[in-house]
Amino acid sequence: GAGVSQSPRYKVAKRGQDVALRCDPISGHVSLFWYQQALGQGPEFLTYFQNEAQLDKSGLPSDRFFAERPEGSVSTLKIQRTQQEDSAVYLCASSSAGGPGDTQYFGPGTRLTVL
């Protein structure tokens, strides 16, 4: 079946530009997560949705980062006025029910390069 998809796969932005990254979770999955992965590091949590409700945004590094999931399915991560330190792979994951025994399914990521 279809997994988690993300688009674009690669994005190059000039410093100061706004970018929007899209995530299509597995159909029917209630939970959706965004992670940021810097080069050579493990992924770091950004934010979490349960359906359309954003329940945890504690990992968003600044108010330039904004995420939404208005209809409880597709999600968009928006970064305003991009900076060089925003260069990273942005990963989206979804899961069916949540909880400590649940499995998260990851997309391939969007590699963002800010020049």
- Binding segment for another protein (CB under 8 A), chosen from 12-20, 30-38, 60-68, 69-77, is 30-38
> Among 75, 107, 112, 114, which residue interacts with another protein (rule: CB under 8 A)?
107
Who's near 49: CB < 8 A, 6+ residues apart? 31, 32, 33, 55, 67, 69, 72, 75
Of the pair 59, 80, the CB lying nearest another protein is at: 59
109 binds another protein (CB under 8 A): yes
Task: Output the smallest distance, CB 15 to another protein, in A.
Answer: 25
Q: Which of residues 77-106 bind another protein (CB under 8 A)?
A: 91, 93, 95, 98-106
Give the pair of three-digit tokens for residue 14. 């000039």
Amino acid occupying residue 87 = S
Q: How far apart are CA 34 and CA 48, in angstroms?
A: 7
| Residues making contact with another protein (CB under 8 A) | 4, 31, 33, 35, 41-45, 48, 50, 55-56, 59, 91, 93, 95, 98-109
